[in-house]
Each structure stands twice: as C-alpha cells, then as structure tokens.
Amino acid sequence: MSLDPHAPPRPAPPVAHAEYHPSTREYVRVGLILIALTCIEVWLSYSSIDGWKLIALLLTCTLIKFLMVVGYFMHLKFDNGRFSRLFALGAVGAFTLYVVVLLMFGVWGH
C-alpha cells in the first residue's frame, strides 16, 4: 500500500463474481442427490442400525448434503476463495463451540 499522497490511484480490480454457474440440468442433478441422501437418512433412522454406527452414518450424509448445498447452490465451489474462508470461520467456530460445550458437560460420556 503506497503512503505517497501524490501517487496516482491504483485502478481497482474488477469485482470477482463466480465465473462458472452450473446449468439447470446440473442443479437438478444436485437436487436429486440431496433428496436421495435425505431418503437414505430417513431409512437409516428406521433401520435396525443403532448406536455410534447410526450416528456416524447420519452425520456423514448430513455433511455431504451441507457441502453440496454450500458448494453448488451457494456457489462457493466456483466463487472467490475468500468467501469460503469467511464462511468456514463461522462454521468451524460454531462446530468448535458445539464440541467444547458438549465435552465440558460430558454429554458423550453418558
């Protein structure tokens, strides 16, 4: 950053927009995958699988759905990386809060 008050102003770079936007067909495909994953989740909740195995499978499906919506529908996969880092800051902060509080109260020990 120049401190010279007489220096000519630098031309501002153009605003970064997502360069690539998925087509309607791609969006529908993502939507169908999300619905399929939700069906799997519901099936898992009715299945005989239980305990940590069930929780791990459900959380995996949830994580995939979360990343697909954030990546495709919210365009983070195609947009400037700074938006991803900003959002990750909040998401990781929330997850850390969740884990720390639950560890503190020993929720997983019961």
Partner 1 sequence: MADVTHDAVHTEHVTSTGLSSTKLAMWLFLASECLLFGGLITAYVLYRGQSTTGPYPQDVFDIGYTSVSSFVLLASSLTMVLSHNAALARDYARMRLWLLGTAMLGLTFVGGQVFEFTTFYHEGLSIKTNLFGSTFFTLTGFHGVHVTVGILMLLILVVLSFRGALSDDPAFPVEMVGLYWHFVDIVWIVIFTLVYLIPSPKPPGVP
- Contacts with partner 1 by CB under 8 A lie at 12-17, 21-24, 27-28, 30-31, 34-35, 38, 41-42, 44-46, 50, 54-55, 58-59, 61-62, 65-66, 69-70, 72-75, 80, 82-83, 86-87, 89-91, 93-95, 97-98, 101-102, 105, 107, 110
Looking at beta carbons only, is 6 or 12 nearer to partner 1?
Answer: 12
Instruction: Return the percent helix, strand and coil in the chain, to nearest 5.
Output: 65, 0, 35
Looking at beta carbons only, is 7 or 15 nearer to partner 1?
Answer: 15
* DSSP assigned state of 71: I
End-to-end, the C-alpha distance of the chain in Å comes to 55
Q: Which residues neighbour 40 within 8 Å (Cβ) at sequence distance 6 or greater?
A: 61
